[in-house]
Amino acid sequence: MTERAQPPTAAPQHPPPVNPGLTAAQVAERVARGEVNDVPVRSSRSTVDIIRANVFTRFNAIIGFLFAIILVIGPLQDGLFGFVIVANTGIGIIQELRAKKTLDNLAVIGEARPTVRRDGVAAEIPTSEVVLDDLIELGPGDKVVVDGEVLESDSLEIDESLLTGEADPVVKKPGDPVMSGSFVVAGGGAFTTTKVGREAYAAQLAEEASRFTLVHSELRTGISQILKYVTWMMVPTAIGLIASHLLTLGLPGDEAIRRMVAGIVPMIPEGLVLLTSVAFAIGVIRLGRRQCLVQELPAIEGLARVDVVCLDKTGTLTEGGMDVSALRSLSEPPGEPPGEPPSDGSPPTERHGTATESRDEAYIKQVLGALGDADPRPNASLQAIIDAYPADGGWQCTRSLPFSSARKYSGACLTGPDGERTTWLLGAPDVLLPPGDHRLTDVDDLNAQGLRVLLLARTAQELDAPEITRDAHPTALIVLEQRLRPDAPDTLRYFADQGVHTKVISGDNAVSVGAVAAKLGLPGAESPVDARTLPTDRDAMAATLDEGAVFGRVTPQQKRDMVAALQSRGHTVAMTGDGVNDVLALKDADIGVAMGSGSEATRAVAQIVLLDNSFASLPSVVAEGRRVIGNITRVATLFLTKTVYSVLLALLVACWQIPYPYLPRHLTLLSTLTIGVPAFFLALAPNKERARPHFVRRVMRYALPSGLITGLAAFGTYFLARYHYTGPDALSAETSAATLTLFLAAIWVLAIIARPYTWWRVALVLAMALGFLVVLVTPWLQDFFDLRLVGTTMPWAAVAIAAVAALLLEITWHWISRRFPA
């Protein structure tokens, strides 16, 4: 038997493309006319959008208005809060621009690059370079990036569920339309583009799939709810303060306005929104350095809240590649007498170099080589067969049936060297063999060892026969050994330690999947479940899913149903995968995680893409999300404590008909030292606390009593000071004493929130206390902030009241922690 002289691309079974596509001149002509797919695919907001979103906010407008008033009536030190807002807004813009740069660079790696045929040559090009009438080739897992019309079809099946909601793949024939946003699940072909640029459906879908979107985030929702209530409280409070100071107390207009501004500004937790965005942005940058692309900003928060992770075995627990470990003949090939050389004249070969290989095994290897050569886009299983049994050129493929995860098999019509025409199927033994077949026992034994088994069968029926597997004649078992990911055991152990339930959901044989999971140490892997036995009722399915850990022979639609069943039990579900059979489940899961080497369809619908294909990156994402959630909860308590005591003080002074105790400069100083600076460090600190639900409730149960205690302590000192001090400078002395109490109580709240203590947390609290002390002892700072402690009695009384407040804070926090454990 002679070997082929032609290269593989020139083999008879792969003739040159009938349609060469556009020429270079035609492409240039269309580019000149603007008929190019020039819609930019952004991974984040544009620079203009970032600046607009950070500058033009509701609270910036309110604070900006109040700042303008202070600039008019003076003095400038009472308008310091305006400069703080400018600085905070600038920080937010800079951090988000840094995140944008990182994400834009990373997004290029995962960007779709369609294969376009021009001048008879197929090459991958960026989506933005596709022109009208281009001929785009398609294969399994490819995403349709623009609208078009099918020109070539080789059993082409396209999933349009992202467009129509219909889960069943649609068979496409020449002349049929294809829509951008759909993807290939089986077969191959080519289509001619009919719409590009903003006329194509991809102009909306691709941009939505790849940019930051504000999906549901409990943090954002909770903060928005808090800000809404604060907004409603500000207007009546401002009216009450100005009326009280002007009409009842008879203060000058400028003084009344200053006191009103001082009462309103601290009610606004403006830095909370900023710090949340900064914490998310920095989290995205950190994950980007680990080759983890976060396509939707709150996704790191969502994954931190996940309590069930559904894993697809192939590409997640195992590496993409496989190796053929054994080939077991089940019968003699028809038409060949046993023991004779193959009819094509090829000489017998050596098996493992020790014995002459049987004629039937050589025949089977030739069939396998031809099946592999017939598929231009082999999956991992077929690639292992191609590597082990390369085609010898003696067989021709006249028709093929590509592998589909729904069918669990592929097929081809082959013509041998002797002209004999045969039809072969290659796929799952438990699908191709009838139930109860004695060969399934051997298959189960192999699967129990964690091996993957394929069955080669011959059939007399045509490939498009509805029951083609009924009379299939089993010929051989191909035993494949999967390559386990070395990092998978540690990752599974991490999730188990964190109380996250892991469910392995695979299309492979359940016993085989269970054996692989058991090797990796997954609890419950010893009792795998065949998904074909799962109940269709959602409640019953959810009960089975809660009990089991490994599920095999799961169809793409079942994966979707399983995610929905888990969600119906109140679980927050993450789904990982890399193949087109995972897309439906990825789309419906709370968080979808795709492998960077996976199909374009999976990357398009996932919120997180692991660009280095490392399953071990998931713990980093979970840890980053927990850091954000835990730290924002901490700093939110600080901000809302200030909001509560500001509202309380405003109400108390209005009821007692006395001047508001503070000027804006005082509260700017206090906010900077007890909230602004420490909150920035606390928001970016390491934090491994478990993510818990009910953000608003958890924050307010601490902020409300803390704000009430702090506000009452400050008002108590102010009330006593009004009776202690007399004279023209009495109000300044009263304010200074009240400021001392408020600072000491607020710094104690900070000290509680900073726990558990580390050296830098202790240093942070002490540095803030030292900063206030510097203001008290420095003459020019005393004048600037109008802070001067007069005498010794009232200052020490202020300290004593603050000490009582600190004791009450400790008692209250301990009681809440015991009564309402987090």
Q: 520 vs 316, 377, 489, 529, CA distance in Å?
A: 12, 30, 5, 18
Give the span between the Cα atoms of 206 and 112, in whole angstroms.
10
CB count in 10 Å sphere of residue 552: 23
DSSP-derived letter for residue 676 is: I
350 CB burial (10 A radius; 0-12, 13-18, 19+): exposed
Beta carbons of 180 and 145 less than 8 angstroms apart: yes
Rounded to 10 deg, the angle between the 695-724 and 793-819 helix axes is 160
Give the span between the Cα atoms of 751 and 654, in whole angstroms.
31
The DSSP result for 579-593, as a single string, is SGGGHHHHHHSSEEE
Beta carbons of 238 and 201 less than 8 angstroms apart: no
First to last CA, the chain: 75
| Residue from 401, 408, 443 nearest 558 by CA | 408
Choice among 312, 360, 392, 588 that is catalytic: 312
The structure tokens listed for 473 are 């004649």
| Residue from 215, 48, 35 nearest 128 by CA | 35
The structure tokens listed for 33 are 């006319």
Beta carbons of 525 and 517 less than 8 angstroms apart: yes
Give the span between the Cα atoms of 606 and 303, in whole angstroms.
12
- Name residue, tokens 């008909």: 657
Check residue 353 and give left, alpha or beta (phi > 0: left; psi -120 to 50: alpha). Answer: left
Rounded to 10 deg, the angle between the 218-243 and 58-73 helix axes is 30
Number of H helices, E strands in the chain: 28, 23
DSSP-derived letter for residue 46 is: -
The structure tokens listed for 449 are 């060892």
Q: 181 vs 154, 161, 207, 580, 600, CA distance in Å?
A: 20, 9, 11, 13, 10
Beta carbons of 383 and 482 less than 8 angstroms apart: no
For residue 254, which amino acid is it? D
Concerning whether 729 is annotated as a catalytic residue, the answer is no
Tell me if residue 500 falls in helix, strand or coil: coil
Give the span between the Cα atoms of 650 and 711, in whole angstroms.
10
Contacts of 47 (CB under 8 A, 6+ apart): 97, 100
For residue 334, which amino acid is it? P
Catalytic center residues? 312
